[in-house]
Amino acid sequence: MRTINIGMVGLGTVGGATYSILQGQKKRLESRIGAGLEVRKVADKRPETRAKFDVPRTVFTTDAQDVLDDERIDIVVELIGGLEPARSFMMKALESGKTVVTANKEVLARSGAELVALARRNGVGLYFEASVCAGVPLLRGIHQGLAGNNISEIYGIVNGTTNYILSKMSLEGMEFSEALSKATKMGYAEADPSYDIDGLDAAHKIAILASIAFGKWVTVDMVFKEGIRHVAQRDIGYARELGYAIKLLAIGKKTAKGLEVRVHPTLIPKDHLLASVIDIYNAVFVNTDCAGPTVFYGTGAGGPSAASAVVADILDASRSILSNSRMGFESGLGIEATNDVVDIGSLVTKYYIRLRVIDRPGALASIAGVFGQEKISLASVRQTEERKKVVDLVFMTHEALESNVRKALARIADLEVVKEVSSCMRVEDRI
């Protein structure tokens, strides 16, 4: 029986879970591919990780180069994370004729096209299911399962931390800061939470999703992003009264003007399926021409979940190697970069806007006047009922051009009656 030889780099949470599945489920996994599966080398620069996952001394190394140098190794599993040295390492692996399986969203969202090109040039596979929403079989689902479709739109809740925070705000009435503390206490948020809450994590994921769905490579720097720090409890409340839930959505859309790729807190109809995705869960809504709307839902994070995707990739990679074929994400994916991502200023959508305004006659008229001059037509206005000196004014606009909205809000911020432009969030109600 032929054996597929695996070399792993990075023995952290995901690496450890992957190693455990490969050892614990060895027989079952081998029967799935009709061949042996052997982990020949595991590299981690922290020698103490070896004992933690019970890796034999003959297999463990602190030098990743040992994995590249081992000629028996067919598949290199990169689970270090971060841009470098992971990217250089993967490139070397592909160049030396090894198939690469990775969970690395940073590298894919920046250098996916180069990696695919390199894999093709060297006749080897490239697999990265775990890079987006961990164990949810999402990239495969889009790449293979929906291959017959033209995909027009993707709306994803792809970051568990922010979804947890927004869920706590929505269901338990917490303010952002309190919900963030709770997320930190639960281990869902990092000590420095900005990667999650400012939308950077989601931006990486939508770059990869959009690349696979639309067939050209989008890099993370092309993604417009806005996080959830400024979402207030009262926004959640007003949105609810208007029939909406607030979610941090990662959006990719093919439009006549070009590609929209953006991450921001978004008002969606509160009876939409995505609105009922709460807690740390992820869900990605994909709109297609034939299969209709399709949703993939799951945990989306954590060692075992990511390891599930890594193992699925290893099995597919093994079957490709055994049959001397190329069936990975590298096949059927283009290597061209997208050049038609549209600027956020030319977005046309509805907006939710909340202002803090001095409650005096003529205040609304002066604000509404600016909206009118900037060609923004209003669908509704709501004023908090309390008789206070400063009140909330909440506007829902009809469809408007983002650059006009920005101009209007800059002018409105300067009005004497306006204390603050507190919120401006995009609305997606044809989702």
Work out whether 330 is an interface residue with its own copies (CB under 8 A). no
Any residues with CB less than 8 A from the CB of 251 and at least 6 apart, and which?
Answer: 153, 154, 155, 156, 206, 260, 261, 262, 263, 264, 266, 428
The nearer residue to its own copies, 99 or 320, going by C-beta atoms, is 320
Residue 280 phi/psi, 5° resolution?
-85, 5
Work out whether 302 is an interface residue with its own copies (CB under 8 A). yes
Minimum separation from the CB atom of position 293 to its own copies (A): 7
Work out whether 332 is an interface residue with its own copies (CB under 8 A). yes
The nearer residue to its own copies, 212 or 391, going by C-beta atoms, is 212
DSSP strand pairing (151-157 vs 224-225): unpaired
The nearer residue to its own copies, 11 or 64, going by C-beta atoms, is 11
Out of 61, 219, 305, 423, the only residue in the binding site for its own copies (CB under 8 A) is 305
Among 49-57, 203-211, 227-235, 276-284, the segment contacting its own copies (CB under 8 A): 276-284
The nearer residue to its own copies, 21 or 250, going by C-beta atoms, is 21
Q: Are 371 and 428 in contact (CB under 8 A)?
A: no
Catalytic pick among 92, 205, 247, 253: 205
Query: Between 255 and 274, how does the x/- string for binding to its own copies read (CB under 8 A)?
Result: ----------------x-x-
Q: Which of residues 159-218 bind its own copies (CB under 8 A)?
A: none
Among 39-47, 82-90, 314-322, 413-421, the segment contacting its own copies (CB under 8 A): 314-322
* Dihedral sign computed on CA atoms, order 180, 183, 189, 190: positive
Among 63-71, 317-325, 346-354, 358-366, the segment contacting its own copies (CB under 8 A): 317-325
Beta-bridged to residue 284, according to DSSP, are: 156, 296
- In the chain, the amino acid numbered 74 is D
Out of 78, 316, 330, 428, the only residue in the binding site for its own copies (CB under 8 A) is 316
Work out whether 33 is an interface residue with its own copies (CB under 8 A). yes
Minimum separation from the CB atom of position 310 to its own copies (A): 8
Any residues with CB less than 8 A from the CB of 177 and at least 6 apart, and which?
Answer: none
Out of 309, 341, 347, 393, the only residue in the binding site for its own copies (CB under 8 A) is 309
Minimum separation from the CB atom of position 31 to its own copies (A): 8
The nearer residue to its own copies, 320 or 338, going by C-beta atoms, is 320
The nearer residue to its own copies, 219 or 299, going by C-beta atoms, is 299
Could you count the other beta carbons within 10 Å of the beta carbon of residue 282?
27
Work out whether 16 is an interface residue with its own copies (CB under 8 A). no
Work out whether 89 is an interface residue with its own copies (CB under 8 A). no
Q: Is 270 a catalytic residue?
A: no
The nearer residue to its own copies, 36 or 304, going by C-beta atoms, is 304
Query: Between 110 and 149, how does the x/- string for binding to its own copies read (CB under 8 A)?
Result: -------------------x----xxxx--xx--xxxxxx
Out of 276, 346, 373, 383, the only residue in the binding site for its own copies (CB under 8 A) is 276
Among 43-51, 84-92, 194-202, 288-296, the segment contacting its own copies (CB under 8 A): 288-296
> Contact positions toward its own copies, by CB under 8 A?
17, 21, 25, 29, 31-34, 129, 134-137, 140-141, 144-150, 271, 273, 276-277, 283, 288-299, 302, 304-305, 307-312, 314-316, 319-320, 322-327, 331-332
